[in-house]
Amino acid sequence: MPNFAIHDGATVSNVIVADSQEVAESITGLSAIDVSDDGVPWIGWTMESEGWRAPSPYPSWVWGGSAWEAPVADPGDGFYWDEDTLSWIAPEPEESAP
Each residue's pLDDT tens digit, 15-65: 999 999 999 999 999 999 898 887 668 899 988 877 789 999 999 999 998
The secondary element (H helix, E strand) that includes residue 32 is strand 31-34
In this prediction, residue 90 carries a pLDDT of 93
In this prediction, residue 9 carries a pLDDT of 81
Of 96 and 3, more confident: 3
- Is residue 89 within 8 A of residue 79, CB to CB? The reply is yes
Query: Whose CA is closest to 35, among 57, 65, 12, 9?
Result: 12
96: pLDDT strictly greater than 70: no
98: pLDDT strictly greater than 80: no
H helices of the chain, where?
A: 21-28
In this prediction, residue 49 carries a pLDDT of 78
